[in-house]
Amino acid sequence: MIYLDTETCGLTGPAVLIQYAYDDGPVTLHEIWNEPVERTLELCKRICNDTVCGFNLTYDWFHINKLYNLFSCNLRIYLYCVQNIGRQQCRLTQTS
């Protein structure tokens, strides 16, 4: 069983932290924006494939789902770009 909690920027903002623990194990803090996308996607998959316990899971489950969909879509777009255009042209650029 996974004990789960998410922290967000405001009520409808993005998730910034996933706190979880397996059974009676230690609490792990997963700082979403400081971790590789692939690691966050794997964590979301592990959470969805286990029994979850938490307070207000409707809110947490929404943010896990939103995060997974956002990251998996962007990862597919990036990988498509790298395969078809090349890594040098597929970097994020800031526009003014």
Query: How many structural domains are present in the chain?
Result: 1
Report pLDDT digits (tens) over 64-89: 999 999 888 877 777 777 677 766 66
Q: Which residues of the chain have pLDDT under 70?
A: 82, 86-96
In a domain, 68, yes or no: yes
At residue 90, the pLDDT reads: 63
Token pair recorded at residue 71 = 């990251």
CA 15, chain centre distance (Å): 8
Let me know if residue 95 belongs to a domain: no
Alpha helices (runs of H) in the chain, residue ranges in sequence order: 37-48, 57-84
Residue 94 lies in a domain: no
Tell which residue, 15, 17, 8, 20, has the closest CA to residue 47. 20
pLDDT at res. 88: 63
